[in-house]
Amino acid sequence: MSNEGYQHNFALINQQRLHYLSAGDPEAETIVLLAGFPQSSFAWRFVISQLATKFHVIAPDLPGQGIPICPRAATIPTLLHSK
């Protein structure tokens, strides 16, 4: 874990590389923190380490927020409905 209290990770989902923060024991109950527009996972930076004492915490950057790496043509409907 970083000195920030969380780790920066990337996942490949439907051929899109997305950034997310994680902390806590992966075997514990998982909480997913979603930030609203125009926020990103960074909005949860002070909460993640506190929740991670009891939960596995995941805070993704949704497409178009934070540091997602998407092709210019990618849109939310495209990402949601791609096969």
CATH topology of domain 7-81: Rossmann fold (3.40.50)
In 3D space, the residue among 18, 24, 9, 8 whose CA is nearest the CA of residue 61 turns out to be 18
Q: What is the pLDDT of residue 7?
A: 92
Q: What is the pLDDT of residue 3?
A: 59
Q: What is the pLDDT of residue 76?
A: 54
Classify the C-alpha dihedral 53-54-58-59 as positive or negative.
Answer: negative
For the chain, the C-alpha Rg in angstroms (whole number) is 13
Q: What is the pLDDT of residue 55?
A: 97
CA pair distance 56, 30, nearest whole angstrom: 5
10-residue averages of pLDDT along the chain (83 residues) = 78 85 96 88 91 96 68 53 54
Q: Which residues contact 14 (CB under 8 A, 6 or more apart)?
A: 79, 82
Q: Which residues contact 8 (CB under 8 A, 6 or more apart)?
A: 2, 19, 21
Q: What is the pLDDT of residue 22?
A: 95
